[in-house]
Amino acid sequence: MQVDLRSGWQIRDVEIPTRLVLAPMAGVSVQAFRRQGRRYGAGLVCSEMVSCAGLHHGNERTLGYLRISPDERPLAVQIFGSEPAVMAEAARMVEDAGADLVDVNFGCPVKKVTKTGAGATLLEDPSRARAVVAAVADAVSVPVTVKMRRGLENGSRACLELGPRLVDAGAESLTLHPRSARQMYTGEADHSLTAELVARVDVPVVASGDVTSQARAQAILATTGAAAVMVGRAAQGNPWALREILAGNVEPPSREEVVAELVLFIRETARELGERRATGFLKKFYGWYLGRGRFPRPFKQELVQLETLDEVEARLLAAAPGAAEVLERLEADLPEAEEDVVLDLPISIYGGG
């Protein structure tokens, strides 16, 4: 039986309008990315990982501010760390900033995170993982969720043993990316594990991994019983993938639509991060937007060489003059910047925003 991806669901008292969740991605999930995801149909969007140690010590390089805008809610802010008391402190700060959900990261496979005992490492330390979730749940009144992988090693089933313990500790939803930390993003996500997890817990489970089309999303939901699917890499520079997953066959974007979305993304990111930081941060997005046969490869290389964002914008609009009219309509639909709530906290341990 097909699930209506455009139907609503809940994590406790938080209403989520569609069954599509935009993944938290380090160096990607800035506010502009999240707002765009909501416009294209994501029912829930997530910040990138916030280091609880950075919040506690206040000495991490400030990478910008996490801004909560009315048009991106509901919003989950994801935190990572391994010390229950420090994670609880971070969770309170996140709730005070206005986030709708606090998400705990037990899935990051990157060595600089796992070597600290955080991220996917906690999948193999169930007592500490449970203590972290219990401390966070006790510290906040908003729902607490957890994102995890299957385990550290290929073939691990750690997530199935840990999941129910995290729910007992206070987690009100679980997201499973059924690859191991060792796999990173290679191979295929084993969603038979997702189905087993759904059968073991009485909270909504979000299925993450290899959600690239409506057919794939429907197959995962039908075979697992998950409440929703999470989309990550497929949406990088490609919000139209979200629209296709929700609505089925849709026309690919025109060159004008691609350029308009990219220019809007550039402007919004510069507003959030500042011109200097945004200039470097945005370079990877040029290839994501302009690839997939939309523009010749040398055009992307040309943009990367330009020194200022004004030059990039001018070159883009020259390549697709009709994009200016599309851009004007997009900007007219955005709320005023001063409506944002600003979380004055360092975000991420990565150099990408």
**What's the whole-number mean pLDDT along residues 9-28?**
96
- Asked whether the beta carbons of 80 and 60 are under 8 A apart, the reply is no
Report the C-alpha gap between 348 and 239 in whole angstroms. 23
What are phi and psi for residue 308, nearest 5 degrees?
-125, 160
Active-site residue among 46, 52, 108, 159?
108
Cβ atoms of 140 and 103 within 8 Å: the answer is no
**165 CB burial (10 A radius; 0-12, 13-18, 19+):** middle
**57 band by pLDDT with thresholds 50, 70 and 90:** low
Residue recorded with tokens 């974007």:
253
Specify whether 159 is catalytic.
Answer: no
pTM: 0.92
Task: Report the pLDDT value the prediction gives residue 111, as an integer from 0 to 100.
Answer: 84
* Residue 338 clears pLDDT 70, i.e. is over it: no
Per the DSSP assignment, residues forming a β-bridge with 104 are 79, 146
Complete domains list, the chain, with CATH: 9-249 (3.20.20.70), 255-334 (no CATH)
3-state helix/strand/coil string of 113-141: HHCCCCHHHHHHCHHHHHHHHHHHHHHCC
Q: Can you tell me the distance from the alpha carbon of 91 to that of 295, in angstroms, rounded to the nearest whole number?
A: 43
Which pLDDT score, from 0 to 100, does residue 55 have? Answer: 64
Q: pLDDT tens, 102-136?
A: 999 998 888 888 888 888 899 999 999 999 999 99
Closest CA to 184 of 226, 205, 154: 154
Strand 9-11 with 14-16, pairing: antiparallel
Q: Name residues whose C-beta falls within 8 Å of residue 70's C-beta, 6 or more positions apart in sequence.
A: 335, 339
Cα separation of 143 and 59, whole Å?
A: 28
Q: What per-residue confidence (pLDDT) applies to 351?
A: 34
Residue 130 to residue 139: CA distance in whole angstroms: 14
Tokens of 204: 């909504």
Average pLDDT over residues 77-93: 92
Question: Could you report the per-residue pLDDT of 168-201, keeping only the tens digit for each?
Answer: 999 999 999 999 989 988 889 999 999 999 999 9
- Mean pLDDT (whole number) for 248-263: 93
